[in-house]
Amino acid sequence: MSKAPCDDLDRQIETATSPTDISRRTFVKTAGALSAAVATGLPTLGDAQTTSLVQTHSLTLKVNGESKTLNLDTRTSLLDALRESLALTGSKKGCDHGQCGACTVLLNGRRVNSCLTLAFAAEGYDITTIEGLAHGDQLHPVQESFLTHDGYQCGYCTPGQICSTVALLDEQKRGELSVVSFETGKLSNPDLTDHEIRERMSGNICRCGAYPNIVAAVRAVHQGVPQA
Ligand code: FES
Ligand code: FES
């Protein structure tokens, strides 16, 4: 068997009585050989360690009413599973850090940032994405309201804004409170004022600044008057 590039260095490390016993020449020669191996794509110890970190397992996700069985790296985010494994590209990747809300989907009706949710953590939940809100050609009332009130410009944030609004309306019906509810002292079934809407939608960033029309769309669908 031919001698591996690091054999000389290994031997010197084993027999060294002090760090200076490892010759500079051996160190430079070994480092060069390892760099060349990386550059030429030959497998290295690092590759072996990386490969061993990838653990794939089977899971079943219930998305928009359909069960889908996948084999995924256990570290896959729900957003990547939706977009890359299920081709449901309506949910957008804006920041991938839980800061913009473009990836918002519903788990059992509650809104989550799918970029911060592991796909395996979503097993057993009813997952609803923007693709699952309409019934055939019949848009969801929140989708209708965003269309009617021009609640978007480029549209990149819009799937997240719409999913967030669907959940927000249910949260308000359940009497859930926001920071604004405490500020205004309305602690029992607070009205969905524009102030409340802005606070409750503050996790969804719109880089186009379509906020006035987004608030109008949410207000209108809450009041049951999605048409302008
Ligand atoms: S992509 Fe998930 S919060 Fe921005
Ligand atoms: S419509 Fe462009 S980011 Fe919101």
> Ligand 1: which of 80, 82, 91, 97 to mutate, most ligand atoms within 8 Å of CB?
97
pLDDT bucket at 2, cuts 50 / 70 / 90: very low
Q: Please give the CATH architecture assigned to the domain spanning 55-132.
A: Roll (3.10)
Percent of the chain whose pLDDT exceeds 90: 74
Residue 219, pLDDT score: 98
Pocket test for ligand 2, best of 93, 103, 156, 165 (most atoms within 8 A of CB): 156
pLDDT attached to residue 53: 76
Query: CATH 1.10.150.120 occupies which residues in the chain?
Result: 135-228
Q: Give me ligand 1 centre to Cα 12, in Å.
A: 50
Gap from CA of 204 to ligand 2 centroid (Å): 10
CATH 3.10.20.30 domain residues, the chain: 55-132
User: Using one digit for the tens of pLDDT, what is the confidence trace for 193-204?
Assistant: 999 999 999 999
Average pLDDT over residues 96-115: 98
Q: What is the pLDDT of residue 50?
A: 56
Give the domain 135-228 fold: DNA polymerase; domain 1 (1.10.150)
C-alpha distances out from residue 123 to 67, 139, 163, 181, Å: 10, 27, 19, 33
Q: How far is the CA of 92 from the centre of ligand 1 (A)?
A: 8
- Give the Å distances, CA to CA, from 209 to 40, 151, 161, 169, 174: 48, 10, 12, 22, 29
Report the mean per-residue pLDDT for the chain: 85
